[in-house]
Structure 1
Amino acid sequence: MRNLMPLLVLMLPALLQASSLSAVPATQTASANAAKLLSVARAGERTVAVGDHGVVLLSDDHGGHFRQATSVPLATPLTGVSFVDARQGWAVGHWGAILATTDGGDTWQVQRLSSAEDRPLFAVHFFNPQQGVAVGLWSLVLTTDDGGKHWTEQRLEAPPGSKRADLNLMGLFADGEGCLYATAERGQLLRSDDQGKHWRYVDTGYSGTLWTGAVLGDGSLLVGGQRGTLLHGSADGARWQRVSLQSKSSVTAIDVSGQTVIAVGLDGLIVRSDDGGQSFHEQPSGDGVSLTATLLNGDGSPIVFSRRGVVSRH
């Protein structure tokens, strides 16, 4: 897969062919570890990864071994996951699906499902067990104040220079002060200071899609997107500087743990910093498989996921 191909090919297969919703549960399969995985989160000490066909993988040894979740009620692609502690978590995906778990990801229940249209959700973030936000296709923003029992769609204003709010919102990340960011198309970064109810646009100066982002240890922002784009910005989003990369492969996921920062992307791209994001060096994975998600362990070793499943601990 080349970096000129939009990442939506990985995340949105056959939207136009989806004519009806078949709410069947995910099946147990010996090949689950080879499923396309799109998002990962930490549930206490457990690693939880979600992906295609409703696959949920769990690891209790920091990515050394994975097993499939016991019960997932939908076999639709899952594109985002978030946990607030070792037991409570949420996953989102196609058909606007939102699933919840109270046992660390072993079993899941449906909180929301839209059978009228396949308007996928791409990312979810919970601040605490009650307040959460999910975002997706065509500026879809949903918020909850009761742990997901009820979800409310929030209206977005049109971005500067546009007549309507129709950007795809691709990722969510937050700082420790309750500020939430959403990465989007056209180089836009959205910021909310009230748990997703109101947003303002932050123009990064880039015109392509931003897939992912993170807050660094010093409070500054790092966002990644198409064509090897990695941008380092101030907390208010006023100043942006491009991180120089040799690769032109799209950046799909970023994680931060202390002074260690890792970004992964298409064509096996791995970019790492050990000084809090002041400098980066590239570490190609070797086989060129498109990498889709990553999570840093406490010792700085990353667990890496791809369109072919779990890659390895690097």
Structure 2
Amino acid sequence: MFHKIILFIFSICTLTIAGDWNWQYPKPQGNNLWAIEFYNERYGYAVGEWGTILFSSDHGLTWEIQYEGVTDNLRDIALADSITAWIVGDNGMILKTTNNGFNWIEQNGGIQNGLNAVCFWDKNIGWAVGDNKKIIKTSDGGTNWIIQVVPLIPNNISFNSVHFISLTEGWIVGSSGYILYTINGGTDWIVQKNTGATLQQIRFVNSTTGFAVGTNGSIFKTTNSGTNWNSLTSNTTLGLNDIHFSNAAEYWIIGDNGIILRSSNSGSSWYSENLDTYASIHHMSEFLGIKFIAGEYGLLAQKNNSDPWNFWNKGMNISVNWITFSDGVNGFGVGQYGRIIKTIDGGKIWNDVY
């Protein structure tokens, strides 16, 4: 499974660089980065506003600007293998590379609406979703894209996340709490639920059990592939941004104002952990049982099993919102103004690499 991290775009702050954060060289660009993904421990991309595409081939030590042919904000990236990738963004922008980004080719998705998320099952079959209830699918690597129709929902609905567990079975979530489901690769989409709350993320543990999280502390769970979605008690009204499965029983949800929810019974009930911060948390990742979180104001923290959360940084001048680890010691984070940070010691020290 690819280690994928997506930069949440809503937070802006300017504090003072502190602690172990050091510039390695002056950065040549300062645009917000909204997504980063590594295919393995060596090759990775970061994308962001004003058409920014960066590529690293040395574990994130150095980054180079690639394609400068577009000015659209780029929202998400999906990798099929070490050399093949797609990027989506505003105004229906779709870009593809088959040579590690040395060349990016614009593909015609047949729409002008913003695209917010993309996923590819293999080098040929993929989906992209976005504003105004747009869903497009390709079966030939993006040479041709087909618009998939979603009837009976308002045209102004935006889709925020797309998740497939097979070539045929997948889900989409978005604004106004819509959960869509397909069993034929998107030829037909049905509305499984209209929760009312905007949903930010959907993930499935297996083919039958899944969760969706969103605004106002919303947690929804299904145990029958979405035939029924049941609302769970979160005891918070804060926005929830991501969900993470550590194992078959231990689940985590993170969100605004430092909220961390934990379940030890496969999501049947949730309780809050005290993080001693009001910074919003945007992503959680895990490697070898060690959990990592990133959020507003450069928040970076780590937790090993039952140990308390250990803060690495509370005071950067930038929001570092998403992190990923390629092994037990090497990790990356991305943030505003083109910031890419890296640790090579399991998160004890983080340094700027771009």
Q: TM-score, normalised by structure 2?
A: 0.65
| Cα distance between partner residues in 2 of 1:66 and 1:229 | 39
Residue 191 of structure 1 corresponds to: 181
82, 91, 108: which one aligns with 1:95: 91
Kept in 1, the 8 Å contact 2:285–2:323? The answer is: no
How far apart, CA to CA, are the structure 1 residues paired with 2:209 and 2:274? Answer: 26
Q: In the TM superposition, what whole-angstrom CA distance separates every residue of 1:26-68 from its partner, at most 9, and x where no partner exists?
A: xx97287x86454454523466554434445678899xx6754
Q: Report if the CA contact (8 A) 1:120-1:137 is conserved.
A: yes
Match of 2:66 in 1: 71
2:195 equivalent to 1:221: no
Task: Select the residue among 240, 243, 263 that pairs with 2:253.
Answer: 263
For 1:68 and 1:271, locate their aligned partners in 2 and report how far apart those are by CA, in whole Å: 35
Partners of 1:126 and 1:116 lie apart in 2 by 19
**2:132 aligned residue:** 138
Aligned to 1:309: 320
Indicate the residue corresponding to 2:315 in structure 1: none
Question: How big is the shift at 1:97?
Answer: 1.1
**Residue 234 (1) aligns with residue 223 (2):** yes
Which stretches in structure 1 are left out of the alignment for 5+ residues?
Answer: 1-7, 12-27
CA distance 1:55–1:67, shift in 2 (3 Å): farther
In structure 2, what is the equivalent of residue 152 of structure 1? Answer: 146
Question: 3-state SS of the aligned residue for 2:135?
Answer: strand
Deviations 1:228-267 (A, max 9, x none): 1111112332333333324322122334454454433333
Aligned-pair Cα RMSD in Å:
3.8
Say if 1:111 and 1:149, in contact at 8 Å, map to a contact too.
no
Equivalence for 1:111: 106
User: For residue 30 of structure 1, what is the aligned residue in structure 2?
Assistant: 27
SS at match of 1:170: strand
Residues 183-238 of structure 1, C-alpha deviations (whole Å, 9 max, x = no match): 0222210112232232111115x212111110014731100111111111123323
- Residues 278-297 of structure 1 correspond to what in structure 2 (within 5 A)? 278-283=268-273, 286-297=276-287
Residues in 1 aligned to 2:266 and 2:64: alpha-carbon distance in whole angstroms? 34
d(CA) in 1 for partners of 2:9 and 2:58? Answer: 32
Q: Is the Cα contact below 8 Å between 2:240 and 2:253 reproduced in 1?
A: yes
Distance in 2, matches of 1:236 and 1:68, equals 41
Paired position in structure 2 for 1:23: none
Q: Which amino acid aligns with 1:269?
A: I
User: Match of 2:65, SS?
Assistant: coil
Higher normalized contact order (CA 8 Å, seq sep 6+, divided by chain length): 2
For 2:202, the aligned partner's letter is G
Counterpart of 1:251, as a letter, is: L
Q: Deviations over 1:84-134 (max 9, x none)?
A: 333322221112111223356x556143368995x2101111111101110
Secondary structure of the residue that 1:95 maps to in structure 2? helix
Q: In the alignment, what sits opposite 1:80?
A: 76
The residue that corresponds to 2:5 in the other structure is: none
User: In the TM superposition, what is the alpha-carbon distance from 1:170 to its structure 2 partner?
Assistant: 1.3
Question: Unaligned stretches of 5+ in structure 2?
Answer: 1-7, 12-24, 297-317, 325-346, 348-354
Matched-pair contact (CA < 8 Å) for 2:165–2:207: no
Q: Contact (CA 8 Å) 1:169, 1:184: kept in 2 or not?
A: yes
Percent of pairs with identical residues? 20
Checking the alignment, whether the CA contact within 8 Å between 2:281 and 2:293 is kept in structure 1 is no
Q: 1: CA distance between counterparts of 2:289 and 2:58?
A: 13
Q: For 1:227, what is the secondary structure of its paired residue? A: coil
The residue type equivalent to 2:135 in the other structure is: V
Q: Does 1:173 align with 2:163?
A: yes
Verify the 8 A CA contact 1:40 1:294 in the aligned structure 2: no
Structure 1 243/302 Cα, relative in aligned 2: closer, same or farther at 3 Å?
farther
**Alignment partner of 1:87: what SS?**
coil
